[in-house]
Structure 1
Amino acid sequence: MDFKTADICDDFASKLEVCQSEFKSYGKNPKFFGPVSTVKVFEDNVLVVEMLESIPEGSVLVVDGGGSRRCALMGDRLGGIAETRKLAGIIINGCVRDSEDLAKLDVGIFALGSNPLKSKKEGKGEKQVTVKFGGVDWKPGAYVYADQDGVIVSDQKLL
């Protein structure tokens, strides 16, 4: 489905939250949308893997990594899981690595930046909770729409 976040904002501004974080696109798909699933972690990606392996096809995994730029929460292996499971996208309030390989994957991937250092593997964090970053309350089950102009969130499906 073709859409523009700018057009959605024109039509539904009162039903949206606009994310104030500025993301860089790392996946092959710079435009994606779908229902939100969330995970909250800090410099640890064990729960990110669990969520990628379990959320429904077409979902967007929103990872609140606390905005840390000290390590990556996702690389080519996790990106491959997202592509194989046909997820619509991943939005990371944190970093990725293996960006050259991520660019070849048929999935949307937005992150704050890149860092070659891998994360810890302790399994700490929370799954499917409301997370807050970029001025948005990211609720599981809400809908996110992302493209080159930005990221917007609605409590209901708009398209």
Structure 2
Amino acid sequence: MSSIEEKFLSLPTTGISDALKGHNHMNTAIKPIKDTYKIAGRAFTISIPAGDNTGILRGIRDAKKGDVLVVDGKGYTERAVAGDFVISLAQSMGLQGIIIDGAIRDIQGIKDLDFPVFCRASTIAASIKAAPGELQIPISCGGVSVSPGDIIVGDADGVIVVPSRIEEKILAAADEKIKKDQERQEKYSGSKEKALQYLISVLGD
């Protein structure tokens, strides 16, 4: 993991969202299957036909260690495009996590692997294998444009995309915003008097 990815990993998605002015967060349905999951890495993008996971298998084979697979599954949730076996392959290949705009299955088995998976839903029906999909192209995932190499950050609040061309700028802005939030917390929390002081400063007497 590079230094910038480690820095993003230390920041909450909420602070990064503030730096991006509330843009570039994926659909709110895309969440981690465990609230404790946190990822920050480079996007390896995959576009698949609805319900077909061949492209995911190709991506697992071709992605680099530490990459985050970002899968445009067309938001389709009637067939799962990954189960515990496919996720175990990604884990074995050294990937950091998988974001799927679609469905998975074998939820308990995947949780037992303790490998970060973010998805739209779970279902029972298996995938099909009929088309190769497309790798490392610009995609839309959860309503957000994602290009290969963009920074993907995910935690319990959701997933956000930082375009690689502005990653340094956004990192600095997010870090500054979070510092200001911490200062506000220290100044105004802990007592009724402090809380009232803050409310008056925002709302007036």
Q: Compute the TM-score of the two structures, normalised by the length of structure 2.
A: 0.70
More helix by share: 2
Residue from 158, 162, 169 that aligns with 1:154: 162
Query: What do residues 32-57 of structure 1 show as CA deviations (whole Å, max 9, x unaligned)?
Result: 11000111112111111110122011
Identity over aligned pairs, percent: 32
8 Å Cα contact 1:27/1:107 also seen in 2:
no
Match of 2:31 in 1: 24
| 1:35 equivalenced with 2:35 (yes/no) | no
Residue from 8, 14, 18 that aligns with 2:16: 8
More strand by share: 1
Q: Compute the TM-score of the two structures, normalised by the length of structure 1.
A: 0.89
Where do 5+ consecutive residues of structure 1 fail to align?
A: none
Displacement of 1:138: 1.0
8 Å Cα contact 1:64/1:133 also seen in 2:
yes
Alignment of 1:77-116 (within 5 A): 77-116=85-124
Matched position secondary structure for 2:62: coil
* Moved segments of 4+, more than 3 Å: none
CA distance in 1, matches of 2:35, 2:92: 14
8 Å Cα contact 2:146/2:163 also seen in 1:
no
In structure 1, what residue type is equivalent to 2:52?
D
In structure 2, what residue type is equivalent to 1:13?
L
User: How many pairs align?
Assistant: 158
CA RMSD of aligned residues (A): 2.0
Q: Which moved more, 1:117-126 or 1:27-36?
A: 27-36
CA distance in 1, matches of 2:157, 2:31: 11
